[in-house]
Amino acid sequence: METLPMSMDRDSLIQLLSEIDTVLLDCDGVLWQGAQGMDVIPRSREALERLKQMGKRVFLITNNSTKTQDHYFAKCRQLGFNVEKDHILSSPYIAAQYLKEIGFDKKAYIIGSPGLAEEIQKVGITTIGTGPETIEGPLYNAVVEGKLGLDPGVGAVVVGFDRDFNYDKLLRATCYLKDPDCLFIATNTDEKYIVQGTNYHLPAAGIIVNAIEAASERPARVMGKPSLNIFHMLQARFNLQPEKTLLFGDTLHTDILFGNESGMWSILVLSGVSTLMEARELPQDPQKQKQLPLFYLQSLGDILTLMDEQVNGGVNEQQN
C-alpha cells in the first residue's frame, strides 16, 4: 500500500466527489498567495467554479485574522471567485459571532488588526486597544501605582495578528486576564505565513497568542481551525453533514486536523505551508496522526486535470 498521504488519482476523486455535497476551501495557500494575498494560484478559480457547476456547496474558511467578511467578499469578486458572502467564514467573524451568541455585553480589549476590531464592533461590542500602545514611565511603578490605563469595563481579551504588538500590550493583556471572568479569545494559532520564493516566513498570530498564554498562565479559547467553532456554525446554519463534506487545506496542524476532527474528508494541497515530507514524517503519536490526510494534490487546480483525464492515472508525485 502506498504511504499516506497518497497522491490523488482520478477514480478516487470521482468517487469522493460523488459522495459529498459540500466543499470547504482554505484561502491563503489554496486559492491565493503572495504578500497581499492577491496572487491567484493557477487554476484555483476554475476549480472552484467547476465544483459549483457540479452542484457542490462551496464555503471559504480562513484563519486570517486581519480582514472582515466584507473585505473577503470584495476580494473574491475582485479576483474572480464566485462565492456568496455568507459562505465566507473568517476567524474574526467567528469570534464576533461567538461573543454575540453568548450575550457578551462588556468591552473587548483587542490585540489585533483594525479588521478584527471592526468585525466585533459590527455585533454591537465596544472595542479598545487597536493600534500602538505605550505605557509611560517605569512599568514596575505603573503596576504598583495603578497607572497602566486599564479599563474596568473590559470583559474579554481578543487576540489576533498585531503588527503593533509590544511588551506594553502584553502587560495589559496579562493584567486583564488576572480576572478569571475575563474571556481570553484567540482568532487562530497559526505560527507562520510563508513568504513565497524565499526560505523565510512571517511570524503569525499564533506566536502572539503563545506569548500571552505563557504570560497570563491561561489557555485561549481558539475560534479558527483546528477548533470546531466553524464546524458547529456551519452545522447550525447550513445543516452541514461531515461525512458529505470535503476540505482542501494547505496546513496539517490547522486545516487537516480540523477536517479529521470534524469527521470530514480532507485533502492536503502542496501550494502553501505544509510539505509532503512533513506529512509523511509525522510522529506516530496518535495526536499527531490526526493531522494526516488520506490524499494530497500539488494544488487545487489538479482536480481539473484529474476530472478531465480520459484514462486512469494519478497526478505525478513530487516530493515537496
Burial class (CB in 10 A: 0-12, 13-18, 19+), 246: buried
Report the binding-site residues.
26, 28, 225, 250
Write out the binding residues for Mg(2+): 26, 28, 250
Catalytic position from the list 11, 21, 26, 179: 26
The yes-or-no answer on residue 26 being catalytic is yes
- Is 302 considered catalytic here? no
- Per mean pLDDT, which range of 52-61, 86-95, 121-130, 188-197 is the poorest? 188-197
For residues 268 and 296, give the distance between their C-alpha atoms in angstroms, rounded to a whole number: 5
How much is the pLDDT for 284? Answer: 87
CA atoms within 13 A of residue 157's CA, in its CB half-sphere: 28
Q: What's the rounded mean pLDDT across residues 153-170? A: 98
Q: Which residues pair with 267 in a beta bridge?
A: 248, 295
Are the C-beta atoms of 65 and 113 separated by less than 8 Å? yes
Indicate whether 320 pLDDT > 70.
Answer: no
Residue 162: pLDDT band (50, 70, 90) is very high
Task: Find all residues with CB under 8 Å of 263, minimum gap 6, and list them.
Answer: 242, 243
In terms of Cβ atoms closer than 10 Å to its own Cβ (0-12, 13-18, 19+), residue 148 is middle
Q: For the segment 49-85, what is each residue's pLDDT rounded down to a tens digit?
A: 999 999 999 999 999 999 999 999 999 999 999 999 9
CA-CA distance, 45 to 51, in Å (whole number)? 10
Residue among 130, 138, 137, 118 at smallest CA distance from 165? 130
Classified as helix, coil or strand, 314 is strand
Q: Is residue 14's pLDDT more than 80?
A: yes
pLDDT of residue 310: 58
Question: What pLDDT band is residue 287 in, cutting at 50, 70 and 90?
Answer: confident
Share of the chain above pLDDT 90, in %: 86
Sheet with 127-128, edge to edge strand ranges: 127-128, 107-111, 154-159, 183-186, 221-222
195 — pLDDT class (breaks 50, 70, 90):
confident
pLDDT at residue 317 is higher than 90:
no
Residue numbers belonging to the annotated binding site for substrate: 225
Residue (of 204, 145, 211, 206) closest to 173 by Cα position: 211
Q: Which of 28, 162, 190, 302 is catalytic?
A: 28
Q: What is the CATH number of domain 93-222?
A: 3.40.50.1000
- Reported residue count of the chain is 320
Where are the domain boundaries for CATH 3.40.50.1000 in the chain?
6-63+241-308, 93-222
> Per-residue confidence at 318, pLDDT binned at 50, 70, 90?
very low
Overall CATH class of domain 6-63+241-308:
alpha beta
Strands (E), the chain: 6-7, 22-25, 32-33, 39-40, 57-62, 88-90, 107-111, 127-128, 154-159, 183-186, 192-194, 201-203, 221-222, 245-249, 265-269, 295-297
d(CA 150, CA 88): 35
Inform me whether the pLDDT recorded for 126 exceeds 50: yes
